[in-house]
């Protein structure tokens, strides 16, 4: 892929208009959502969608999430059953993606769904994402704006770090508030499946549904092709559930009992704060430990409820053996 100049756009009306113009012309624009930065393109433009996969080095069997301004627009692209409607009404705009059958005449490029007959849809709450999607009017396909397999970006600088020179523009909307990707749910007629824990806690979904979410069993045909065990990887070796600093290496703490940690996800033990900090702190420690002879980051235990569940999911993937 040739080098191009990546423009940094501001969130004023001029910047937003330029971003939407680039989308209409088939280009790639990274933009802030409340979860992480997305790398967006017009979901109906096959060439534009193909260039997302090329820019990220993403395998084409891994489908993308489409982003729309509201539920009415979402219904042009996907078919909502009762459960899906209830979840959309309860949690949109917000960090929830729904995997639904593709609507007839959706016009979506088949690359978006990697040839599946379902599509993942989300209505982001971030005001900049909302302005962009309202102005664009259609669906923007957007994975996280990072090189495939690397840590998701929660600032515009993270996006520049990975994708400068290979995408057209980045809308700089500051730090992402949630800091973890959306929770992905597939609502079926009898029950709803959790495909990926994320920025909307499972407890909130279960309260709204009045029943537990179903989980994929080992041996089932995978509902979500993108859930590779090894993902979100830093360069350093990662060891989880460590209650003390390593002899050599860095310590990422959580909570009050981590005096001497190099960074602490939340000194007060707040999971929302920890989620916001997770990816940025992993990046920071990784860049420091990369200069050491044996790059190692150890991570304190994080409780496995609320947002902690998604934090632990990302940490386990980041720590999974490579190759």
Which residues of the chain form contacts with ligand TXA (CB under 6 A)? 33, 35-36, 38, 62-65, 97, 99, 113, 116, 118-120, 122, 142-144, 181-182, 184, 195-196, 223-227
Indicate whether 144 belongs to the interface with Mg ion (CB under 5 A). Answer: yes
* Closer residue to ligand TXA (CB): 99 or 280: 99
Query: Which of these, 187, 51, 63, lies nearest to 115 by C-alpha position?
Result: 63
Give all strands of the β-sheet with 263-264 in edge-to-edge order: 237-239, 296-299, 250-253, 263-264
Return the SS3 of 22.
helix
Which H or E run includes 73? helix 71-77
* Closer residue to Mg ion (CB): 54 or 292: 54
> Left, alpha or beta for 277 (phi > 0: left; psi -120 to 50: alpha)?
alpha
**Residue ranges of E strands in the chain:** 7-9, 29-31, 38-42, 65-67, 96-101, 118-122, 140-141, 169-171, 183-187, 192-196, 214-215, 237-239, 250-253, 263-264, 296-299
* Closer residue to ligand TXA (CB): 196 or 283: 196
* Closer residue to Mg ion (CB): 138 or 226: 226
- CB of 203 vs ligand TXA, minimal distance in Å: 19
Residue 152 CA, chain-centre distance (Å), reads 7
Between CA 33 and CA 78 the distance in angstroms is 21
Adjacent-strand bridge partners of 102: 78
Cβ–Cβ under 8 Å, residues 148 and 59:
yes
The interface region with Mg ion, picked from 49-57, 61-69, 115-123, 140-148 by CB under 5 A, is 140-148
- CB of 224 vs ligand TXA, minimal distance in Å: 4
Indicate whether 150 belongs to the interface with Mg ion (CB under 5 A). Answer: no
Q: What does 155 bind: ligand TXA, Mg ion, none (CB cut-off 5 to 8 Å by kind)? A: none
The interface region with Mg ion, picked from 136-144, 194-202, 234-242, 310-318 by CB under 5 A, is 136-144
- CB of 281 vs ligand TXA, minimal distance in Å: 18
- CB of 9 vs ligand TXA, minimal distance in Å: 17
* Closer residue to ligand TXA (CB): 66 or 250: 66
* Closer residue to Mg ion (CB): 144 or 276: 144
Q: What does 223 bind: Mg ion, ligand TXA, none (CB cut-off 5 to 8 Å by kind)? A: ligand TXA
Indicate whether 236 belongs to the interface with Mg ion (CB under 5 A). Answer: no
Residues of the shown chain interacting with Mg ion in the complex, contacts defined by CB under 5 A: 144
């Amino acid at each position: 892929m040739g080098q191009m100049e990546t423009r940094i756009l501001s969130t004023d009306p001029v910047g937003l208009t330029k971003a939407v113009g680039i989308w209409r012309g088939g280009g790639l624009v990274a933009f802030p959502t409340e979860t992480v930065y997305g790398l967006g393109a017009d979901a109906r433009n096959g060439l534009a969608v193909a260039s997302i996969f090329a820019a990220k080095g993403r395998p084409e069997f891994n489908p993308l999430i489409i982003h729309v301004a509201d539920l009415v627009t979402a219904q042009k692209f996907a078919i909502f059953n009762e459960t899906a409607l209830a979840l959309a009404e309860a949690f949109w705009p917000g960090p929830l993606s729904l995997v639904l059958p593709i609507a007839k005449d959706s016009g979506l490029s088949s690359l978006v769904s990697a040839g599946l007959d379902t599509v993942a849809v989300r209505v982001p709450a971030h005001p900049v994402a909302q302005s962009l999607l309202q102005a664009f009017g259609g669906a923007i396909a957007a994975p996280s704006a990072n090189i495939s397999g690397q840590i998701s970006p929660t600032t515009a600088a993270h996006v520049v770090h990975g994708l400068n020179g290979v995408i057209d523009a980045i809308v700089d909307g500051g730090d992402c508030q949630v800091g973890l990707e959306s929770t992905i749910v597939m609502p079926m007629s009898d029950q709803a499946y959790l495909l990926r824990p994320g920025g909307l806690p499972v407890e909130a979904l279960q309260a709204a549904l009045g029943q537990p979410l179903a989980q994929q069993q080992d041996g089932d045909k995978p509902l979500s092709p993108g859930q590779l065990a090894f993902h979100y990887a830093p360069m350093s070796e990662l060891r989880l559930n460590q209650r003390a600093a390593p002899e050599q290496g860095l310590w990422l703490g959580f909570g009050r009992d981590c005096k001497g940690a190099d960074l602490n996800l939340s000194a007060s033990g707040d999971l929302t704060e920890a989620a916001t900090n997770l990816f940025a702190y992993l990046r920071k420690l990784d860049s420091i430990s990369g200069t050491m002879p044996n790059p190692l980051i150890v991570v304190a235990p994080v409780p496995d409820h609320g947002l902690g569940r998604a934090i632990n999911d990302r940490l386990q993937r980041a720590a999974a053996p490579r190759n």
